[in-house]
Amino acid sequence: MSTADAWSSKPATALLVLSDGSVIEGEGFGATGQSVGEVCFNTAMTGYQEILTDPSYAGQIITFTFPHIGNVGANDEDVETVNMTSQSGIRGCVLSARITDPANYRSAKHLDTWLKARGIAGISGVDTRALTALIREKGVPNAVIAHDPDGNFDIEALKAEAAAWPGLEGMDLAKEVSATQTHPWSEGTWEWDKGYPDRDSSEFKVIALDFGVKRNILRLLNDAGCDVTVVPADTPADAILEQNPDGVFLANGPGDPAATGTYAATTIKTLIDKGVPTFGICLGHQMMALALGGKTIKMHQGHHGANHPVKDNTTGKVEITSMNHGFAVDGTSLPDNVEETHVSLFDGSNCGLRVKDKPAFSVQYHPEASPGPRDSHYLFTRFTDMMRNART
């Protein structure tokens, strides 16, 4: 799968060793060392820094199908991780072309330098089309990514490590990327020549249950008039209800929802039963389904990209969405009081639900985008309308 590049006659300085024993050679960049994770592919053409800092990718090695990654550099504004101590949890990245020097006025540093600082190893010179085809055919593999500038690798040991890694099923990764302490959020969305200004939004008091929340979600909640307080993933329902919120937001996040649900589903069920307006995204959507009695399943290849068509059954409209998930809600497992509101037009998988007799809804995709289309921003208004109606 190696690309015939100018460096191809030199010893490989990076390897991607799959759990089936396949060895993919390439040129290393970013941090040195090795890491094990699940290999997925992302089809987005823009926003690689937001993708690399999305906590939902914890435990995964990202293969970018777009060949030119790093050409606009990196900066401190396009980071999506809220809990900076977690470094988002991504295990590595795989590229087709070598990273070029940045050419963008917002660039503050080279992507290679930025990755080194964050401890993320990468491999370039890979035929990412072939790797993507392999994932589509056989499903997401586990793998070890290794980078050594001298090209010294114990390939048999790397094969054994990749084969022994248990995979994401059964892993609760939300606690690894969640906030460790309660904290307020006042930052709004980006404005030209201003960055991310603080806004005094106080119409609604919202508690955000952090399973690995992205910054732009919190910014859009702020823009919508929400005074947001972020709380750790394992915060119990009583502690949330004591704050008397107008609504609760269930964040995105990584790992197996069934594992996180062992402690979070009970909390969410209590909040919904109490009639607290509740809105979930991604892992938060899966958590809501589990709280309502539904089930989740591991997907063959997952959905990762910014071009996924989803139909809103409540309006009949189709929106192009940004997605990042390897597990999905089993739509057939939802109880009678839950309506399936959104479906993927790629594979028919569940992408949204609504509780018929309570003010609660959720979606599988990322309506905040960053990166991705903004077709789904209306959902934040739907949440504030729900809180406003609950007051009356």
User: 73 with 110: CB under 8 angstroms?
Assistant: yes
Q: Which residue has the tokens 């509101």?
A: 341
What are the distances in angstroms from CA 47 to CA 50, 55, 70, 130, 184?
Answer: 5, 15, 10, 23, 26
Cα 295 to the chain's mean position, in Å?
20
In the sheet where 204-210 sits, what is the strand order?
183-185, 226-232, 204-210, 247-250, 278-281, 360-363, 350-355, 338-344, 296-312, 318-329
Of the residues 161, 176, 319, 368, which is catalytic? 368
Instruction: Give me the helix-helix angle, 283-291 and 257-273, nearest 10°.
Output: 60
Is 366 a catalytic site residue?
yes
Q: What is the pairing mode between strands 60-64 and 33-42?
A: parallel
Q: What residues contact 316, with CB distance under 8 A and at least 6 apart?
A: none
Beta strands (DSSP E) in the chain are 14-18, 23-30, 33-42, 60-64, 92-94, 121-124, 142-147, 183-185, 204-210, 226-232, 247-250, 278-281, 296-312, 318-329, 338-344, 350-355, 360-363
Q: Residue 50 and residue 348: Cα distance in Å, rounded?
A: 27
Structure tokens at 49: 């820094």
Q: Residue 105 and residue 349: Cα distance in Å, rounded?
A: 40
> Alpha helix locations (H) across the chain?
48-52, 111-118, 128-138, 155-164, 174-177, 215-223, 237-241, 257-273, 283-291, 378-391
Of the residues 282, 304, 308, 319, which is catalytic? 282
Is 340 a catalytic site residue?
no
What are the distances in angstroms from CA 124 to CA 3, 88, 270, 309, 376?
Answer: 9, 21, 48, 30, 34
∠ CA 286-292-297, rounded to 5°? 40
Is 351 a catalytic site residue?
no
What are the residue numbers of the active site?
282, 366, 368
